[in-house]
Structure 1
Amino acid sequence: MPILLGGVLYFWWGQYMLLGGHIAGRNLLPGAVVTVVGLVDLRWFMPTPRG
């Protein structure tokens, strides 16, 4: 769970910095959450290499 929170904070901060603070941080939170959920889904659906 802390890793997911860290991911959300990372992507929220990244959006905020790249947009130069022109958009309120509260409005960027849904995008950060969706990004982390999408990455978790990719990790779950992608096969792991066996070797």
Structure 2
Amino acid sequence: MSKGIAILVGWENIQGVAHCATRLKIVLNDTCILDIKKSSMWRIMNQLLLRDLKK
């Protein structure tokens, strides 16, 4: 799932990543990219999550 997230937001756009038991925080260099990809990104993220849960 982490590769999917990195591909969606762009590897070079990730400034930092932190996590705890329930959340993943990604700090981006350019958040405008998310506005462009937002609708398709959430659909893809849900598919990745469901796929990983089935394993």
Tell me the TM-score normalized by structure 2. Answer: 0.39
The structure richer in strand per residue is 2
The structure richer in helix per residue is 1
